[in-house]
Structure 1
């Protein structure tokens, strides 16, 4: 089945801020940035303390480049201020609270005023519209609901766009398939690996994933590659676009990808000021096009203004295309805290995905196991990856050898490859865990 031609966004009514010039946008950023820095200093004790210790004052911000004088905010700052120390408004003005899972430590808590929620919904709607979703479409929302920002953030944005929302949340994959067949949605919102899980489950039931009503997928909450996009688009006969966000900055909708270009997510710079820093020397602010760690400052948030938040996401800033004034994010290559240093070589799970999806015998389902055998000083990496259903035993051995060789060539590290049976690795209903570190703790 051939994918139908997708109409460009010229058939949609854009926000005024999507169409302004870069000069107008930067003037707006400066005005909003000056307000936000002063607002955070006056209302959030952490910021007053950090600015004072750093020897800077909000009046020092006279131009956009002056933002580099101010200290960073980290996830640890939010954890130390748990639960509500980062809030800039009284409790009665907080309309909603979200929080991280806290699986790697104390949860980070974020709050929203009514205006924050309205701005959030508008930006998610803007992102969905850029990705091809239109008013009147039915939208199947498979992001998790609850304290995680994905489900409710995507839901509010789809409603604000004028869509009919099917709020199924994550999990219950068989029911997801039933509702997709019965309700015939036009678009699906999910993590890329969970959409792959749904497609795999359809094939096991004898359903062709390309035969559904779905035309668009807006996918986020985890890094994914162009190879994964191609896999999903061919398998499901859809157009798949990225949506980016994180709870500490807002949630989904900080940036969104345009369906007509599919060349990276445009950051909505009327609400967020991005920077790229050297992940290993954060005092170095890098120029556009240079890869590094993404940093965000909010420009309009009331309940939880955030100044120079270190996301740990590794990417680069590129000129705008479909929205010329708003810069794009390159594909996220990984997180600085997900980087594996294996015998002196830096390695990210996305690199393995990119290589594996070029080998026809192998599926996108894989896990990385790090071990240090007893009596040895060198760490060992095992790539566990599922074979495709149609692959023979001979094909498995050949594919494992090719993957091992390609990782050595393109990443520079030796590893063991263990090709396992289809469906044997853990599936994801939300963010996928790729790395299993089983090395003895120091």
Structure 2
């Protein structure tokens, strides 16, 4: 078994591509402008959607003279991409497209992403940056529990691991007990998965009597593809005895690899030589200055097959352009505080699922396994119900102890949300588990009456 490095107490800041990740900002912005101008020209010439939208706005490629001119360009939304399903947004003929990925398409047609051979090489380089930011080298064994297939997570992390020379174990999701066995047998030091599945794996390890600090070689993990709070991050680190790194990506941009944390965990470094970032007022579309909370908008700068201009991510964050203590000069996005499209409006109150999760994990003996159900009852008023699992210890104490935890959570949620929610604390392993992205919210209002 390879020597397990310490989880805390060190700030070993490895950098994969020092030339671009530590580039002085004036030089970086010059590179961004050159790449933006080429991208806009290609989009205008090769993608009918962008030509039509730019013509409507009276914008030509030659109008992009400075980086601020990006605000003249049209926004791209998920709806636009689905309307042009499957390949109408591509800037390259299918003869040059060597791979396709797609989003889940749970609310309609999926978003389809195409990649040229150069795009795939770029993607592997970006994930190599992610791994290296977490201290991963060719001495590591990477257990990849992200889903393989049309979902971008599995393949992205696979080829990035090979790029840094690490040993990749392409497990994908499912067969949870077998995965924990492989941790032990193969000496995995790195875990890649959704945060919710990491907790499922931790739960399985505990059931098997495994002491994660003593019996496993795991030391770091890279988690993303779904919202997760700092409280959940702490749970993962404690239960698996690892250092957890937040990563960010979208199928619409390339997949994972848009940004990731360094050992200082003070925001996620955006790979700005490949992605131009803005924040906007989600209601007006007005561009906001760095440091101001807003909706993040991203433009791809180097993609060949599937370039995207000003994609509205719907993710709320703050962009910090100050140089990080790790030495990287790229801007950092602060942890996403919610999405403009997953915000629930309940009786006129804006509620983000992440707010509810934070409160749940602040109450002792409640587990990060929960479901939020929104419905309309006979009064036609919004009804919020939260089902959450308790720990084995609390469950063994009986119904009275579970009722006290239920009342505790109810009080805490009311203070945070100014809403009364029906709380139901249930026993361990009562709620359905997910091997990929967890389904946390069930909104039944459209089906009611």
1:302 corresponds to: 304
The CA deviation string for residues 377-413 of structure 1, in whole angstroms up to 9 with x for no partner, is 2101001000011002333222211211111111222
SS across alignment from 1:234: helix
SS across alignment from 1:390: helix
Pick from 226, 245, 249 the counterpart of residue 245 of structure 1: 249
Pick from 42, 48, 52 the counterpart of residue 39 of structure 1: 42
2:317 corresponds to: 315
Contact 2:366 2:391 in 1 (8 A): yes
Q: Which has the larger displacement, 146-155 or 318-327?
A: 318-327
Q: Tell me, in whole angstroms, the C-alpha distance in 2 between the residues paired with 1:108 and 1:14.
A: 30
Contact 2:14 2:135 in 1 (8 A): no
Contact 1:210 1:235 in 2 (8 A): no
Map 1:159-198 onto structure 2 (within 5 A): 159-198=162-201
| Structure 1 residues 310 and 4: CA distance shift in structure 2, 3 A | closer
1:107 corresponds to: 110
2:440 corresponds to: 434
Matched, 1:356 2:375: no
Q: Which has the larger displacement, 109-118 or 387-396?
A: 387-396
Pick from 269, 286, 289 the counterpart of residue 288 of structure 2: 286
SS across alignment from 2:377: coil
Map 1:147-162 onto structure 2 (within 5 A): 147-162=150-165
Matched, 1:65 2:68: yes
| Structure 1 residues 13 and 123: CA distance shift in structure 2, 3 A | closer
Contact 1:266 1:323 in 2 (8 A): no
Contact 2:245 2:265 in 1 (8 A): yes
Contact 1:189 1:218 in 2 (8 A): yes
Q: Which has the larger displacement, 409-418 or 205-214?
A: 205-214
SS across alignment from 2:26: helix
| Structure 1 residues 223 and 141: CA distance shift in structure 2, 3 A | same
Contact 1:25 1:325 in 2 (8 A): no
Structure 2 gap segments, 5+ residues each:
none
Q: Tell me, in whole angstroms, the C-alpha distance in 2 between the residues paired with 1:11 and 1:158.
A: 15
TM-score by length of 1: 0.96
| Structure 1 residues 83 and 175: CA distance shift in structure 2, 3 A | same
Map 1:20-59 onto structure 2 (within 5 A): 20-59=23-62
Contact 2:91 2:304 in 1 (8 A): yes
2:230 corresponds to: 226
Q: Tell me, in whole angstroms, the C-alpha distance in 2 between the residues paired with 1:13 and 1:258.
A: 12
The CA deviation string for residues 293-322 of structure 1, in whole angstroms up to 9 with x for no partner, is 111000000001100001111211123413
| Structure 1 residues 12 and 293: CA distance shift in structure 2, 3 A | closer
Q: Tell me, in whole angstroms, the C-alpha distance in 1 between the residues paired with 2:29 and 2:418.
A: 42
2:369 corresponds to: 365
SS across alignment from 2:35: helix
CA shift, 1:136, in A, is 2.4
Structure 1 gap segments, 5+ residues each:
none
Matched, 1:199 2:202: yes
Q: Which has the larger displacement, 408-417 or 241-250?
A: 408-417
1:119 corresponds to: 122
SS across alignment from 2:393: coil
Contact 1:135 1:161 in 2 (8 A): yes
1:382 corresponds to: 385
| Structure 1 residues 106 and 323: CA distance shift in structure 2, 3 A | farther
| Structure 1 residues 12 and 39: CA distance shift in structure 2, 3 A | closer
1:329 corresponds to: 333
Contact 1:2 1:237 in 2 (8 A): no
| Structure 1 residues 372 and 166: CA distance shift in structure 2, 3 A | same
Q: Tell me, in whole angstroms, the C-alpha distance in 2 between the residues paired with 1:417 and 1:204.
A: 27
CA shift, 1:372, in A, is 0.8
Pick from 277, 281, 290 the counterpart of residue 280 of structure 2: 277
| Structure 1 residues 426 and 309: CA distance shift in structure 2, 3 A | same
Q: Tell me, in whole angstroms, the C-alpha distance in 2 between the residues paired with 1:16 and 1:2.
A: 27
TM-score by length of 2: 0.95
Contact 2:192 2:223 in 1 (8 A): yes
| Structure 1 residues 224 and 185: CA distance shift in structure 2, 3 A | same
Contact 2:22 2:330 in 1 (8 A): no
| Structure 1 residues 398 and 95: CA distance shift in structure 2, 3 A | same
Matched, 1:257 2:261: yes
Contact 1:22 1:324 in 2 (8 A): no
The CA deviation string for residues 2-31 of structure 1, in whole angstroms up to 9 with x for no partner, is 954464344555431011111111111111
Contact 2:14 2:132 in 1 (8 A): no
In the alignment of these two chains, the number of paired residues is 439
